[in-house]
Amino acid sequence: MAETAVARETLFALRETIARLEGRPLPALAAAAHEALATEPDHRPAAEAQLLLATGIVDLDAAMQGGVPLDALTEIRSLGLRDAGAASGFALALAARLGVFAGRPEGRLGGAQAPGKTAAVSPVLWIGDTVAAMEAGLPYAIGLRDFGLEPAGFLQAAPRKLEEALWLAEAALASAAFAVVVLEVRGNPARFGLTESRRLALRAKAAGRPLFLLRQGGEEEASSALFRFRVEPAPALARPLPDGTVLGGSIGHPVFRLTLEKSRNPAPFSITLEWNAHDRQFTPVSDVRRPAFPGEHAAHSGADLPASADRPDRPQALGSVLAFGRPA
């Protein structure tokens, strides 16, 4: 235990040195975290001090050593803005699942928790990106209810500048008024790098609140996020009927193809999950497309019409084609 305390002191000393080299004062939240850890008993296990949200998927929770941390920065990214709906849907699904455990008299969500504590139900804050909203749209109240969230507990902000969005995220975390803060960022802006992500991670740790960094159409880059998910859309299954058959031509529950790119495991972990908004639960599904019903065709599966029959069998010789005769 003494070695753990020494390691913590070394970590805070390094943070202070980095802050001085960057010409910035030591953040007050780091000082507060330093004081809190200094007064914490050394015999307390570190695993009990971290809040976790279990996804309910054994393999995924094992890869994250228990679940999504609720006092840290978690990054969720899409490969392009065409996949913004999938990445946003996964972030909202995690927020909806967090609401399932919000009223339970437990301390750790999804695991053994401290008795005698009941978490209050708090709203969700969505800090959107202006450009991403113009291309991918905004959260819709009716859609949020169908997805498992209450629109009355969903607050949305649309800052005009990235600096305003970062300030708002820090202020929201410090207030501890929200169950989760979702910060949407488009791409890899130069004004949001490792320094800014480290400051947000420290703020989330000090406040004991989760922050989901939703990077739309961004590449992998160094950050202070404990975990990073890459989310891609996957084909939904047909909607099942009570008698065991499927409803032809129907659209089933949303399906996400997840890749845990950054974690404590050396190799990435991939899985395909289906989100049931009614039960607020994830279910693993086979990453194989279902067979099409009779008369159905997959979208963008190829040309359905045959090639024209009167086309020339070989390309014509190169040369200019004029609409009028050449002058004499």
Amino acid at the residue 85: G
- Asked whether residue 18 falls in the same domain as residue 102, the answer is no
Contact 280, 100 (CB under 8 A): yes
> Does residue 9 sit in the same domain as residue 123?
no
On whether both 82 and 12 belong to a single domain, the answer is no
pLDDT in tens, 8-22: 666 666 766 676 665
- Its pTM stands at 0.70
314 domain-assigned: no
Identify the pLDDT of residue 35: 52
Specify the pairing of strand 154-157 against strand 124-127.
parallel
The predicted pLDDT at position 1 comes to 46
d(CA 215, CA 219): 9
Whether 327 is in a domain gets the answer no
Q: What whole-number distance in Å separates Cα of residue 214 and Cα of residue 187?
A: 10
Q: What is the pLDDT of residues 90-104, one digit of tens each?
A: 999 999 998 765 544
According to DSSP H, which parts of the chain are helical? Answer: 2-21, 28-39, 58-63, 84-101, 130-136, 141-147, 162-175, 194-207
The DSSP line for 94-151 is: HHHHHHHHTTSS-SSTTS---TT--PPP--EEEE--HHHHHHH----HHHHHHHT--G
As for how many domains the chain has, the answer is: 2
Domain that holds residue 158: 51-284
Looking at the structure, do residues 278 and 130 belong to the same domain, yes or no? yes
- Which pLDDT tens digit goes with each residue over 273-286? 999 998 999 999 88
Give the model's pLDDT for residue 230.
96
| Per-residue pLDDT at 23 | 57
Q: What is the pLDDT of residue 247?
A: 77
As to burial, measured by CB atoms within 10 angstroms (0-12 exposed, 13-18 middle, 19+ buried), residue 183 is buried
Contact 173, 203 (CB under 8 A): yes
| Cα–Cα distance, 229 to 246 (Å, whole number) | 31
- Higher pLDDT pick, 228 / 34: 228
Task: Return the half-sphere exposure (C-beta side, CA atoms, 13 A cut-off) of residue 279.
Answer: 9
Together in a domain, 204 and 260: yes
Express as a percent the part of the chain with pLDDT over 70. 66
